[in-house]
Amino acid sequence: MNILLVSAELAPFAKVGGLADISGALPIGWKRIGHNPIIVIPKYKGIEEQFHILKTDLSISFTLFEKERVFPIWTSTLPHEDIPVYFIESDDLYDRPGIYGNPDGYADNDERFFVLCKSAFELMIKLDIKPDIISAHDYHTALLLPLLQFTYSKHPLFESSKGVLTIHNAQYQGWYDLQRMIAMTSWNPEDCLWKGEFNALKTGIDYADLIIAVSPSYAKEILMPEFGEGLENVYSQYSDKLIGILNGVDYALWNPESDTCIEHHFSKSDLTNKLIGKIQLNKHYFEDNIDCDKLPLIGMVSRFTDQKGIDLLEGCIENILEQGLCRLIVLGSGEERYQSYFNALQLHYPQFVSYSQGYNEQLAHHILAYSDFFLLPSRFEPCGLTQLYALNYGTIPIVRSVGGLKDSVQPFDSITQQGDGIVFQEFAKEALHNALMDALSLYHNSTMLQSIMNNAMQADYSIEKTAKEYIDEFKKLLHKN
Ligand code: ADP
């Protein structure tokens, strides 16, 4: 199967969150089970300085707002994998700080992502590749699906292609000006009007042959107003083409025995270096080193948005820090109110709280590998990847039972000794407080701690499993006609 994957993010070239990890991992999974993925992303600012990518002789051109535009093509492969990645060059669209232009998004994101999607089709024509599956990810590349339907379905290369939309986060939808979209695409406004505007995600949903939510629970949750973000009725209307597949992990990258971002490797049978790593993390990131090997270390690595449930911590963790019961190490950035909260927390409890603002791949791996617990109290969580990574390092997730967290972390039962995490139900400070206290008492019971860590490290969420589930669904789609 030829699978064309187009994404706004792709690890390691351009990453903001989990979308990058999965856009990078799925093709690896597909390739390992015998298929041919081809990836297309924008050539964002700075990629060619950081990575080995080459300018090709190819370029593609098309008319946009009545002007002929030319887009040179660059190429590379995924690291250590023979999977082609093509980069669309357009300095005026992509040579800017950041991928999206947060917090409100660049005003011309409609054009930036439309150009990406249309270029992907034009590139396939240039390369004479016939994609069996066109794999779109979130609102940014949901435009592939109306493009397939309205512009390319009669082209011999695409006449039997199927369009699949993976929804990583239903909160972000790409509300664009309808007139501008029509001017850019020449589509019929009646085919794309939604509440007086153009909604990229909704249009993608309309024209997708299959919609994949990134966990089975999230596929059910988005049918409800609490999680559907205004599109719940649309998802319900299309429930026969909506499924959930849990994301997976590329264990070649996130592995305690071989992770290239950490120095002290360890395994299920020898955890000595996990403790050494924890001691080093404590030394580097906390003011003084009181009995740090005995104090439980709770890690967080997160984009700071209201999705991540950081609000629950305020007025809940202080009581625990006041008593010096644990240390908290946090890495993340995003909304100012959360950054200020963690800065203030660190100022108030310098012995017990360390906050690093910003994006830091290396530190993320250190926190995931060497902490005792990993906290994700999300309000909603389509899948969540960090809890899957944490499990593989024997770092016990403390999560709210929602979306992919519910599907991937099994609550630990002290009687049966089954389960691999601490799970709480209600989105409430008291529920989080109880979960934290449970975690801390578990930490001091070495038999139970051993059991839960063992269970965590045994969990298997490999990307190959996820990739195979995708392929099974792709096959069903292709055999339909
Ligand atoms: P989301 O996509 O909602 O941000 P996921 O759990 O799916 O959440 O994926 C988050 C990914 O981004 C993980 O690989 C995590 O390690 C990474 N990440 C998040 N924040 C940071 C940060 N500040 N520095 C480095 N990596 C981060």
Per-residue pLDDT, 193:
93
Atom in ligand 1 nearest the alpha carbon of residue 383: 7
**Protein residue closest via CA to atom 4 of ligand 1:** 17
Atom in ligand 1 nearest the alpha carbon of residue 356: 23
Per-residue pLDDT, 400:
98
Distance 247 CA to ligand 1 centre (A): 14
Topology of domain 2-249+464-479 in CATH is Rossmann fold (3.40.50)
Q: Do domains 2-249+464-479 and 272-461 have the same CATH topology?
A: yes
How much of the chain, in percent, has pLDDT values that exceed 90?
97
The model's pLDDT over 43-82, given as tens digits with 9 standing for 90+, comes to: 999 999 999 999 999 999 999 999 999 999 999 999 999 9
78-105 core/surface letters (b: 16 or more CB in 10 A; e: else): bbebebbbbbbbbeebbeeeebbeeeee
Per-residue pLDDT, 293:
75
Pick the closest to residue 464 from 11, 164, 33, 3 (CA basis).
33
Distance 356 CA to ligand 1 centre (A): 14
**Protein residue closest via CA to atom 24 of ligand 1:** 359
DSSP secondary structure letters along 405-441: HHHH-PBPBTTTTB-SBEEE-SSSHHHHHHHHHHHHH
Instruction: Give the predicted TM-score (pTM) of the model.
Output: 0.97
Q: Where are the domains of the chain?
A: 2-249+464-479, 272-461
**Protein residue closest via CA to atom 12 of ligand 1:** 17
Per-chain mean pLDDT for the chain:
97
Per-residue pLDDT, 289:
66
Least confident piece of the model among 37-41, 137-141, 189-193? 189-193
Is the minimum distance from the CB of 384 to ligand 1 under 6 angstroms?
yes
Per-residue pLDDT, 327:
97
Is the minimum distance from the CB of 369 to ligand 1 under 6 angstroms?
no
The model's pLDDT over 295-330, given as tens digits with 9 standing for 90+, comes to: 999 999 999 999 999 999 999 999 999 999 999 999
**pLDDT for residue 122 is more than 90:** yes
All residues at 6 or more sequence positions from 329 whose CB lies less than 8 Å from its CB, including other chains: 281, 285, 286, 297, 298, 299, 300, 353, 354, 367, 371
Is the minimum distance from the CB of 18 to ligand 1 under 6 angstroms?
yes
Distance 398 CA to ligand 1 centre (A): 16
**pLDDT for residue 294 is more than 90:** no
**pLDDT for residue 462 is more than 80:** yes
Q: How confident is the model at residue 83 (pLDDT cuts 50, 70, 90)?
A: very high
- What homologous superfamily does CATH list for 272-461? Glycogen Phosphorylase B; (3.40.50.2000)
Per-residue pLDDT, 481:
66
